[in-house]
């Protein structure tokens, strides 16, 4: 996956792959002036990438691959 996360997973190869799939996108500003708001957003994003991944399968979603989680955590760390 490129560093800017621009990728398509539509028509993925494989016998059991879904033909139409998509991501959920969040647009988060790189700079958040309000320290309380910044903490809440960063804490939520960390939860999504860690403990929140344990809820995906029960909701019929796929877990993010570890490589994608690491890339997301790197992007989260850039929020100022």
19-75 pLDDT tens trace:
777 777 889 999 999 999 999 999 999 999 999 999 999 998 888 889 999 999 999
> Bigger pLDDT: 7 or 40?
40
**Could you give the CA distance from residue 31 to residue 49 in angstroms, rounded to a whole number?**
20
Residue 18 has pLDDT above 80, yes or no: no
- Residue 61 placed within a domain: yes
- Residue 54 placed within a domain: yes
- Residue 13 placed within a domain: no
What is residue 62's three-state secondary structure? coil
**Could you give the CA distance from residue 29 to residue 34 in angstroms, rounded to a whole number?**
12
Whether the Cβ atoms of residue 68 and residue 1 lie closer than 8 Å to each other: yes
Question: What pLDDT does 15 receive?
Answer: 84
- Residue 15 placed within a domain: no
| Domains of the chain: total | 1
């Amino acid at each position: 996956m490129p560093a800017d996360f621009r990728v398509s997973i539509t028509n993925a190869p494989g016998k059991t792959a879904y033909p139409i799939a998509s991501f959920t996108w969040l647009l988060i500003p790189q700079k958040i002036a309000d320290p309380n708001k910044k903490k809440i957003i960063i804490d939520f994003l960390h939860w999504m990438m860690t403990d929140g991944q344990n809820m995906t399968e029960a909701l019929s979603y796929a877990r993010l691959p570890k490589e994608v989680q690491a890339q997301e955590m790197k992007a989260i760390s850039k929020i100022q």
